[in-house]
Structure 1
Amino acid sequence: MLRTLDIRDMLLIDRLELDFGPGLNVLTGETGAGKSILLDCLGFVLGWRGRAELVRKGASQGEVIAVFDLPAGHAARSVLAGAGLPVADELILRRVNGTDGRKTAFINDRRASGEVVRAVSETLVELHGQHDDGGLLNARGHRAALDAFAGHDDLLVACRAAWGARAVIAKRLAEARAALAAVQAEEDFLRHAGAELEKLAPQRGEEAELDTRRRQMQAAEKIRADVARAAQMLGPEGAEGAMRDADRWLQTAADRAEGALDAPLAALERALIELGEAASGVEAALEAMSFDPRALEACEERLFALRAAARKHGVQADDLAGLAQTLGARLAALDAGEAGIAQLEADLAEAERSYAAAAERLSAARGAAAGRLDAAMAAELAPLKLERAVFSTRIEAGEGGPEGRDAVAFTVATNPGAPAGPIDKIASGGELSRFLLALKVVLARGADALVLIFDEIDRGVGGATADAVGRRLAKLSEGAQVLVVTHSPQVAARGATHFRVAKSVADGMTTSRVEPLAPAARVDEIARMIAGAEVTDAARAAAEALLAG
């Protein structure tokens, strides 16, 4: 419920504090007194788009504060919690407008973005006017209105879930088909390159190992002849043989040399030992340098094959093994792709059947609810002097979506035998107001958390019809707080709380003021609405009769 509205320096209002009551609140006043200004200010604090220049002339800034009572479970609570804002039983909206056009909003004394303010306001207030094309007169909202009337939230949830599951599978199938098409486009290359690499069987680190072996064999080929000649010169045919002959000759002479040859013989023995070790080392080196020339050729062929493959595929030789695995995986995906797509197609068909069943159940429920809505509207139209009009909820097959396959439109025929058409195209101004009011009364179930605002919805009607409109507004206010801007005395008389809007000029400055009316003042105001500028006793008597109800 909207409890208070505090306006400072906005348009023609310098300072205004209003306390609203439950039930039906009516605002009356002369044309041009500023009733629309009051709604502009309320729309401003709620974040609605409106006039660009709102600050009162001569003021540095304008400010509007609206205080709402939030019952437990109100939808605004979840919006506030989701935005990280304080949640309490009292909701305070404050919005400031500077002369430079900058707007700053606060919710419960915390800065809030315009988007959050609008999200909260959607749960608080609903505005309807004679030419309201954003509410029930907009066919795009008719399906939601019918669903709200039917109360089949469980069917809506099931349909949305089925549509979501179907959409997920459809996306996966599209991605799988695209991936398969991409792989199929290079199938020949994958199979040829994969077979080539499979035959080559590259190993990580193999290139470096082959290059080292190749260089070793090439070097050995160049020095092996010199090492072989050195081994021959050190052996029995060379230095070793000569040294052993010398040793034998010295041994023969040693007996007659009186010890003179003992030291040379010992040195020669040591030399023979060192020579033997040198010869053994050379022989070992020579053995290590021995290789089959065909091994060098094979090593070079393998090395060149690896490097050629690396150049061909634009990778390092050590990455060929990984490339082979990647190509193998893509080939496996290609081979398994058709089977996977077949499974996804089967899954999608099942998901579409589930969605079709959910949508069908929702369509059936909407059809039944449409009949109940049409009957309820017929009951409401008669008291509003539209007993000959026919309201019909038309349901046609539409494109599938998360909320089913139904296109819903409210149509009317204002006279028997006349063709039915869209409600905002067929009905006249006065009829349109009454159709809209009847719809709001019928759809008001569950809307008690909303403040409903009607801006001159009774325009174009008078007499008994205006009285019927007033009674229906009063009935609507039994389940929701209702604010009505009206020029009809019959409607004003039904208000539980009555405000009069007036304009005055002082010191060359025009201001609008709004004042709550006591019972006696209500009589005078309603009498003015009946008689015009000159209020007569007969007008006062008529006003008292209207208030007596």
Structure 2
Amino acid sequence: MLRALHIRDFVIVEQADIAFDTGFTVFSGETGAGKSILIDALALALGGRGEASLIRQDVPRADISAVFDAPEAAAGWLAEQALEGPELILRRVIDAQGRSKAWINGVPATLGQLRDLGALLVDIHGQHAHQSLLQAASQRELLDTHGGHADQARALLQAWTDWRQAQAALDAARSDAAGQTVLLERLAADVAWLDDLAPEPGEWPDLCARQSRLAHAQALLAGAGQAVEALDGESGSAAQALHAAIQSLQSLARHDPALEEHLQSLESARILCAETVSGLNAYADRLEPDPAALEQADARMGRMFEAARRFHVEPETLAEHHEALRTQLRQAEAGQDLEALEQACRRAESDYMAQARALGAARRATAVQLAGQVTAAMQTLSMDGGVFDITLADCKPSAHGLETVEFLVAGHAGVPPRPLSRVASGGELARISLALSVIASQAARVPTLIFDEVDAGIGGAVAEVVGRLLRELGARHQVLCVTHLPQVAACAARHFQVSKTTRAGHTLSAIQPLDAQSRTEEIARMLGGLKMTDATRTHAREMLASGQTG
């Protein structure tokens, strides 16, 4: 659940530190005081869209932190991200240039991570949610979310994509058979040419070194012989000079031990000289002029140069190019295999149809259940005799299945249900939306539910029913609600007032928790406007008493 929200310099909020508790909490205040700004700030901490316009005027940045208790449902996600509970701190900072930074428990995080975690913590029902109910896509999404079909719907979308791609490959092969044949012949000829050459990875540098060695074999032999003569010849060689120097120092080292170090250096040089002579002699034995081998190396280099020019690549990349052409050839051969493409297309279609039928069956079962629950809720929301129905009509295969989803409603008894977009008034639509929100939230796994003025368009006795519905929901979830209805506010366990003031020409918003007396005053204000009377205060106290016990 949400434990605290800390807001700094967000829109018209200079600073707010709000502590939350379990159950049902409401926020109320005059129009324009900034009630919904609290929801916007929390949405930002949960990965919502941020921009420079959200920063309070004349300050460099906005800073928002939300503190949650980690629910069990988030344990797997936290483990995957190497994060730990039991407390979660989500922080978001936006600067004047619109740049955004985010952290989870002090660890830098992406907005995607905030959104993924936020989906496990909070469910926000916006004040305009009822308007989206008029859209077919929103109706289908709500049905799938309520029924737990979201993963099936995403899998079906992928199956549809796979089927479309398989069909496109088959269509391309059928329509461009001649072009594919030409491509196949060219690739086959190129691969055969390189198969004959058989370039090996790393062959080119080795070939260049071998050719250079064979081409200069005589000079290499002569140079090695000259070096051996200089190191160990019969007259004036390095070995003789080292031997003479060692003998001189050996006779003198008895008188001054300091010479022993130099004597050891000379001995090391003598040994190294002898090893070098041995190595050069072995090198000369192995290196013999080989005109045939040189001719083969020259010919191989010539063919590789020819191949490099033919395929417009460097000689050292011929092996990689050869493998790339082989891959293209295999793909082209597969593209010409109409039977294989047809089989792949049939498999993709079969997979899609199986998933679509399974999703359709699940949707139909959920539609019956959800329609019954909403119909029952309508009877308590001053829509006696009203009926809510969900029809699933067969349609051509699409990315979303084999059926369309449409919400139908009859506002009162004696009339057949008709599409929601054509018959529901604004007030009816708001009530149906609220019923759907409450019913869907009852099955939600997220611990915190937020309703941002979803009670717009209703009042009177209906508003009281709505308040009780939200209070009942608060027994299972933490419920936060921005409201303008005193009947709803009276049903809450806790009440915050949002007010605005002007300071130095700037409008600022403040949030204060209300005690029993100030809460009575706020309910009276919501009932009677700016003019307070004893009658409105008495009514407010009665409404609070009823809201807590009724």
**Same fold? TM cut 0.5:** yes
User: In the alignment, is the contact (CA less than 8 A) between 2:51 and 2:94 conserved in 1?
Assistant: no
Query: Alpha-carbon deviation of 1:413?
Result: 3.7
For 1:443, give the aligned amino acid: A
Runs of 4+ in 1 over 6 A off after TM superposition: 186-191, 313-316, 332-339
Give the direction of change, closer, same or farther, for the CA distance of 1:137–1:25 in structure 2 (3 Å limit).
Answer: farther
Structure 2 Cα separation of the partners of residues 146 and 386 of structure 1? 22
Please point out which of 135, 144, 147 is paired with 1:147.
144
Q: State the distance in 2 between where 1:189 and 1:483 align.
A: 69
2:118 paired residue number = 121
**392, 402, 405: which one aligns with 2:402:** 405
2:356–2:401: 8 Å Cα contact kept in structure 1? yes
The structural deviation recorded for 1:9 is: 2.5
In structure 2, do the counterparts of structure 1 residues 527 and 165 end up closer, same or farther at CA, with 3 Å as the change threshold? same
Partner of 1:295: none
Deviation at 1:474, TM superposition (A): 2.0
Match of 2:373 among 356, 371, 376: 376
Mapping 1:85-96, distance limit 5 Å: 86-96=83-93
Secondary structure of the corresponding residue to residue 512 of structure 1: strand
With over 3 angstroms needed to count, the CA separation of the structure-2 counterparts of 1:542 and 1:175, relative to structure 1, is same
Residue identity (%) = 39
Q: Deviations over 1:457-501 (max 9, x none)?
A: 222222111111112222333332222111111000111221011
* 1:40–1:50 Cα contact (<8 Å) kept: no
State the alpha-carbon separation in 2 of the partners of residues 152 and 128 from structure 1. 20
- Tell me if 1:485 matches 2:477: no
Is the alpha carbon distance of 1:14 and 1:393 closer, same or farther for their aligned partners in structure 2, counting shifts above 3 Å?
same
Residues 24 and 497, structure 1, Cα contact 8 Å, conserved in 2: yes
1:421 aligned partner: 419
1:62 aligned onto 2:59 = no
Paired AA for residue 8 in structure 1: R
Deviations 1:160-204 (A, max 9, x none): 78657756765775686689654434789999x99xx9xxxx999
Asked if the contact 1:125–1:451 (Cα under 8 Å) also holds between the matched residues in 2, the reply is yes
* Inter-partner Cα distance in structure 1 for 2:394 and 2:359: 12
Question: 1:316-364, CA deviations, whole angstroms, 9 ceiling, x for partnerless residues?
Answer: 9xxxxx9xx99xx99x989987994324423532442343233223222
Aligned ranges for residues 1-40 of structure 1 at < 5 Å?
1-40=1-40
CA distance in 1, matches of 2:89, 2:51: 23
CA–CA separation in structure 2 for the residues paired with 1:474 and 1:418: 33
1:290-305 → structure 2 map (5 Å cutoff): none
Distance 1:50-1:467 versus aligned 2 partners, 3 A rule:
farther
Mapping for residues 493-512 of structure 1, pairs under 5 Å:
493-506=490-503, 509-512=506-509
Amino acid at match of 1:18: I
Change (3 A) 1:74 1:339: same
Cα distance between partner residues in 2 of 1:315 and 1:510: 71
Task: Name which of structure 1's ranges 12-21 and 123-132 shifts more when overlaid on structure 2.
Answer: 123-132
Aligned twin of 2:525: 528
Q: 1:22-52, CA deviations, whole angstroms, 9 ceiling, x for partnerless residues?
A: 2221001122222133233223323323664
Q: Is the 8 A contact 2:180 2:332 kept in 1?
A: no
Structure 1: tracts of 5 or more residues without a match: 205-306, 317-321
Say which SS state the counterpart of residue 101 (structure 2) adopts. strand
Q: How does 1:29-428 map to 2 (within 5 A)?
A: 29-49=29-49, 52-74=52-74, 78=77, 84=81, 86-132=83-129, 136=133, 138-151=135-148, 166=163, 170=167, 173=170, 181-185=178-182, 340-400=337-397, 404-415=401-412, 416-417=414-415, 420-423=418-421, 426-428=423-425
For 1:530, the aligned partner's letter is L
Q: 1:464 to 1:185 in 2, by over 3 A?
A: same
Q: CA separation in 2, counterparts of 1:185 and 1:129?
A: 59
Shift of 1:5: 0.6
Any idea what the Cα deviations from partners look like across 1:1-23, whole Å, max 9, x if unmatched?
21101112333322211111222
Q: What secondary structure sits across from 1:494 in the alignment?
A: coil
1:434 Cα deviation after fit:
0.9
Relative to 1, partners in 2 of residues 1:165 and 1:81: Cα closer, same or farther, differing over 3 Å? farther
CA distance 1:465–1:189, shift in 2 (3 Å): closer
CA distance in 2, matches of 1:517, 1:35: 15
Query: Would the alpha carbon gap of residues 515 and 407 (structure 1) be closer, same or farther in structure 2, given more than 3 Å must change?
Result: same
Cross-structure match for 1:473 = 470
- Aligned partners of 1:393, 1:136: CA distance in 2, in Å? 12
Contact 2:61–2:95, Cα closer than 8 Å, also in 1: yes
The one-letter amino acid paired with 1:121 is G
Distance 2:51 2:383 in 1: 36
Contact 1:129 1:455 in 2 (8 A): yes
**Rg larger in structure:** 1
Look up the SS of the partner of 1:22 in the other structure. coil
CA 364–100 in structure 1, closer or farther in 2 if over 3 Å, else same:
closer
Residue among 509, 512, 517 paired with 2:514: 517
Q: Which runs of 5+ in 2 are unaligned?
A: 199-302, 313-318
Q: What amino acid sits opposite 1:420 in the alignment? A: R
Secondary structure (helix, strand or coil) at the match of 2:365 reads helix
Residue 283 of structure 2 is matched in structure 1 by none
Counterpart contact for 2:52–2:97, Cα < 8 Å: no
CA contact (8 A) 1:429 1:459 kept: no
| Counterpart contact for 1:65–1:94, Cα < 8 Å | yes
State the distance in 2 between where 1:159 and 1:188 align: 39
CA pair 438-419 structure 1, distance change in 2 beyond 3 A: closer
Partner residue in 1 for 2:253: none
Post-superposition offset of 1:122: 3.6
| RMSD of Structure 2 on Structure 1 (CA) | 4.4
Provide the C-alpha distance between the structure 2 equivalents of 1:315 and 1:419, rounded to a whole number of angstroms: 70
Per-residue deviation, 1:66: 0.8
Q: Shift of the alpha carbon at 1:121?
A: 2.9
Residues 9 and 63, structure 1, Cα contact 8 Å, conserved in 2: yes
Distance 1:439 1:167 in 2: 35
Q: What do residues 276-328 of structure 1 show as CA deviations (whole Å, max 9, x unaligned)?
A: xxxxxxxxxxxxxxxxxxxxxxxxxxxxxxx9xx99x9699xxxxx9xx99xx
Q: Relative to 1, partners in 2 of residues 1:91 and 1:138: Cα closer, same or farther, differing over 3 Å? A: farther
What amino acid maps onto 2:415 in structure 1? Answer: G
Corresponding pairs, count: 431
3-state secondary structure, aligned to 1:74 = helix
In the aligned structure 1, how far is the partner of 2:27 from the partner of 2:142? 28
Kindly indicate whether the alpha-carbon contact (under 8 Å) linking 1:378 and 1:387 is maintained by their aligned counterparts in 2. no
Instruction: Quote the residue 1:220 is aligned against.
Output: none
Inter-partner Cα distance in structure 2 for 1:175 and 1:341:
10
Give the corresponding residue for 1:273. Answer: none
Residues in 1 aligned to 2:522 and 2:311: alpha-carbon distance in whole angstroms? 92
CA deviation vs aligned residue, 1:216-270 (integer Å, no higher than 9, x gap): xxxxxxxxxxxxxxxxxxxxxxxxxxxxxxxxxxxxxxxxxxxxxxxxxxxxxxx
Contact kept? 1:45, 1:93, Cα under 8 Å: yes
CA distance in 2, matches of 1:510, 1:351: 60
